[in-house]
């Protein structure tokens, strides 16, 4: 699902992203903004639609890493006898 946000960026899985056109034909710059912070920037060659797919892929990967970090933190807390929050 893609949602347009007032500054021209879009959202995927609750993470904002921006796609900017490059000066060369078929070149795009993708930036994701998890938590409102500029996190990853990537130069992409292809169509605008494929740049959107790439942005979604970048966000999916970021979410996967966050999930792994959260699971590792929860496991460590459980080992130390604390209840994960």
- C-alpha distances in Å from residue 54, one per residue of 19, 26, 28, 72: 10, 14, 10, 27
Q: Is the pLDDT of residue 12 over 50?
A: yes
pLDDT in tens, 27-37: 999 999 987 66
Is pLDDT of 83 > 80? no
Q: What stretches of 1-85 adopt beta strand conformation (E)? A: 3-4, 10-12, 15-21, 27-33, 40-45
Q: Residue 7 has what pLDDT?
A: 54
Q: What percent of the chain has pLDDT over 90?
A: 44
Average confidence score pLDDT of the chain: 83
């Amino acid at each position: 699902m893609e949602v347009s946000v007032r500054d021209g960026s879009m959202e995927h899985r609750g993470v904002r992203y921006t796609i900017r056109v490059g000066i060369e034909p078929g070149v795009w710059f993708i930036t994701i903004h998890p938590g409102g912070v500029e996190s990853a920037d990537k130069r992409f060659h292809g169509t605008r639609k494929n740049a959107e797919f790439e942005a979604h892929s970048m966000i999916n990967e970021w979410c996967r890493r966050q999930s792994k970090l959260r699971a590792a933190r929860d496991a460590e807390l459980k080992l130390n006898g604390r209840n994960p929050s």
